Amino acid sequence: MIWTVELAAVLDEAPFPATRDELIEWAERNGSPQQVLDNLYELEEIEQGEDVVYEGIEDIWPDYIGKEDFFHNEDDEGFDYDNV
């Protein structure tokens, strides 16, 4: 499973908390890239009838760099996080 910031960013709008199957279903409905789907399929499977619930992207990829991790001043002229 290989995550990049671009791939993980696809999950920024995912319906967390969610199970693996819920994330896969959401990703398929939203036309996520195949690599995102492949990564989600590799997540921990359901064991003995219990669902693993992911509270956020950090549960999937602990090293994820989110918007709050950037030290930019969003008030700076021309700064647009969506273009980072």
Q: What is the pTM of this model?
A: 0.71
d(CA 59, CA 56): 6
Digit-coded pLDDT (tens) for 49-72: 677 899 998 888 887 776 555 555
Express each pLDDT in 5-28 by its tens digit. Answer: 888 889 989 999 999 999 999 999
Q: Is the pLDDT of residue 40 over 90?
A: yes
Q: Rounded distance, CA 12 to CA 82, Å? A: 12
Q: Please give the helix or strand (H or E) that residue 3 lies within, else none.
A: none
